[in-house]
Amino acid sequence: KTLFPNTQVTIGPVIEDGFFYDFARKSAFSTEELQAIEKKMKELVKANLPVTRKEMARDEAIEYFESVGEKYKAEIIRDLPESETLTLYTQGDFTDLCRGPHVPNTGHLKVFKLMRTAGAYWRGDSKNEMLQRIYATAWADKKQLKDYLYRLEEAEKRDHRKIGKQLNLFHFQEDSPGIAFWHPKGTAIWREVEDYMRDSNTRYGCTEIRTPLIADISLWQKSGHWDKYAENMFMTSSENRDYALRPMNCPTCVQVFNHHLHSYRDLPIRMAEFGVVHRNEASGSLHGLMRVRSFTQDDGHIFCTESQMEAEVIKMVEQCFEVYRDFGFVDFDVKLALRPDNRIGSDEVWDKSENALANALDNSGVKFSFLPGEGAFYGPKIEFHLKDSIGRSWQCGTIQMDFSMPERLGAIYIDENSDRKVPVMLHRAIVGSLERFIGMLIEHYAGLLPVWLSPVQVVCLGITNKQDEYLHEIHTKLLKNGFKAEIDLSLPTNKGMTILGNTTMSLSGNKGNEILTSISSIWILYFILQ
């Protein structure tokens, strides 16, 4: 405000590893202006200005901010609940609206850095004004800042979009914005992930189903998705009927359950589906494989009785941990997301659901934290947050408990007293979106995937073209023995004989088998196969 008095201050929350602040001004901040702002910040730190807190009545606070030309602050105050205690914080001649608390003075804020700028709509609505956002980060000491900047540098090197292009895995184009075109090598990785999950589901008692990609909007209205996600659903019509591409797989899975009348003896019924879903995400939010408009979920839906639900959750937690470790993730946090303000179902049902999930985690020996208000609109959920090789956290799998959707969609079973009962429905995704999970794997391994996941496990090459016929013979043997092999007859200078270096690989491509280490030449591999 000292440097640019005509700039209005809007909103600036804490985010992971830093914070941002949005400003209303006519033009974007230049690099020189960012440098000037950072210099001024350092001056304010040296000034060691005290930070003071003051409570203020709503009308008084609105009047104050309007008097200093801060219309956005006044608008925020008008939209706050009547019960909210309004607090203002002042340092020097600057006063801001904030819930707090704050440090006692600016002298505590020595280690920070302005990172970048971006455009952002006021309150995230594209109908509103475009604001100028400044991203920044702050740390307790210089070492922590240095480590953070190193992680950012590593993250840029590991960007799955860059590596995906280098390794010829996939691409995006404007003909299908937000939907990946998978190349043969990328598809090979996809198949390994899908086949692994299919095998895991079989071992944990899930039978696989396939359900329609589109359904009449009446199904989405019954399930409750229409009220929540209509704006993000792709529509189509045929013969005077309106349909929607499914944004989630749950309602169509319930139809498979409903097709037969089940006894309590049949339960639990575990269904798994690699279901393609479509969501009309805003174009500005799309990000490689991490945020797309069409993706495949490794969905699982378990229909069970109330007495079975805790045991089923324990089984799913076990499967999640096994899957993550097999893919190379050994550090993860587990969180229990509790009831949101905007929800369906009685408090009694929510109490029962939250307690069941918490008990299942306790009985699994899993440490977890709570996320108040972060549950789905129909039920609480367990979230699995995976740490990658450079310390970033990725929210991955979820286990959700749902008493509402089965009832809304008419799911029933016959209990031991011959009464009709509504089953409990457990929603489960382990890797979640296959697209996003593959993006995570690429960045976790910096493109150097384990051999069992690699789209090319062996390259056959020779010293001169005299070996071409023999190389073709070896290549054929490798393919017949289940290796993902390629042949290279180009003979560039200094190519040499090493094909994999010091690595590990499974002779059948299966993680569970004995592994062969330090393969140094195609000849060794050939004699082993013989």
Nearest in space to 200 (alpha carbons), one of 308, 326, 314: 326
Between CA 47 and CA 65 the distance in angstroms is 25
Q: Among this protein's residues, is 298 annotated catalytic?
A: no
Amino acid 326: pLDDT: 97
Using a 10 angstrom Cβ sphere, with 0-12 exposed, 13-18 middle and 19 or more buried, the burial of residue 93 is exposed
* Dist CA 407 CA 468 (whole Å): 66
Is 262 catalytic? The answer is: no
Q: What does the pLDDT read at residue 376?
A: 86
| Range 186-198 average pLDDT | 97
DSSP one-letter code for 391:
S
Return the pLDDT at 492.
56
Report pLDDT for 124: 86
CA angle 270–433–16, rounded 5-degree value: 120
Active-site option among 297, 319, 400, 457: 297
Count Cβ neighbours within 10 Å for each residue of 119-136 and write b for 16 or more, e otherwise: ebebbeeeeeeebbbbbb
46 burial level (CB within 10 Å; 0-12, 13-18, 19+): exposed
To the query of whether residue 320 is one of the catalytic residues in this protein, the response is: no
Assess contact for 72 and 11: CB atoms under 8 A: yes
3-state secondary structure 157-200: HCCHHHHHHHCCCEECCCCCCCCCEECHHHHHHHHHHHHHHHHH
The whole-number pLDDT of residue 316 equals: 96
Q: 185, 427, 475, 484: which is the annotated catalytic residue?
A: 427
Q: Is 299 a catalytic residue?
A: yes
**DSSP string for residues in 66-93:** HHTT-HHHHHHHHHS-TTPPPEEEEETT
Pair 397, 433: CB distance under 8 Å? no
Reported as half-sphere exposure (CB side, CA atoms, 13 A), residue 490 has a value of 7
pLDDT category of residue 491 using cuts at 50, 70 and 90: low
Give me the chain's average pLDDT, please.
Answer: 89
Intra-chain end-to-end CA distance of the chain, in Å: 76
Q: Cα(248)–Cα(233) distance, rounded to whole angstroms?
A: 10
Indicate whether 517 pLDDT > 50. no
What is the full DSSP assignment across 406-418?
HHHTT--EE-TTS
Per DSSP, the chain holds a count of helices (H) and strands (E) of 15, 28
Name the pLDDT band for 526 (thresholds 50, 70, 90): very low
The answer to whether residues 457 and 484 touch, using CB atoms and an 8 Å cutoff, is yes
Average of per-residue pLDDT across 22-29: 93
144 is catalytic: no
Per-residue model confidence as pLDDT tens digits over 262-316: 999 999 999 999 999 999 998 888 999 999 999 999 999 999 999 999 999 999 9
For 441-477, write each residue's pLDDT tens digit: 999 999 999 999 999 999 988 888 888 899 999 999 9
Q: Give the mean pLDDT of 36-64.
A: 95
Per the listing, tokens 């901040």 go with 29
Decide if 225 contacts 376 (C-beta within 8 A). no
pLDDT at 499: 37
Please report which confidence band the pLDDT of residue 345 belongs to, taking 50, 70 and 90 as the band edges: confident
Residue from 206, 250, 304, 396 carrying the catalytic annotation: 250
Instruction: Give, in order, the Cα–Cα distances in Å from 499 to each of 154, 456, 472, 486, 519.
Output: 26, 11, 16, 11, 8
Relative to beta strand 458-461, strand 485-488 is parallel
Run of H or E including 53 = strand 51-55
Given the residues 133, 339, 381, 475, the one annotated as active site: 381
Q: Which of the residues 301, 392, 475, 484 is marked catalytic?
A: 301
The percentage of residues in the chain with a pLDDT greater than 70, rounded to a whole number, is 92
**pLDDT score recorded for residue 387:** 93
> Catalytic residue among 279, 293, 335, 444, which?
279
**521: pLDDT strictly greater than 60:** no
Taking the C-alpha atoms of residue 346 and residue 339, their distance in angstroms, rounded to an integer, is 11
Supply the pLDDT for residue 225.
86
User: What count of residues does the chain have?
Assistant: 530
pLDDT tens-digit readout, 211-261: 999 999 999 999 888 888 888 999 999 999 999 999 999 999 999 999 999
The Cα–Cα gap between 171 and 185 comes to: 12
**pLDDT surpasses 80 at 98:** yes
Greatest mean pLDDT range, 151-155, 161-165, 387-391: 161-165
| Residue 301 designated active-site | yes
Asked if 98 is an active-site residue, the reply is no
Q: Which of 14-18, 175-179, 505-509 has the lowest mean pLDDT?
A: 505-509
Q: Are 168 and 454 in contact (CB under 8 A)?
A: no
Q: Active site residue: 298, 299, 388, 402, which one?
A: 299
Per-residue tokens: 44:
């304010």
Strands (E), 390-497: 393-402, 413-414, 420-421, 424-433, 458-461, 485-488
Tokens of 486: 């390629």
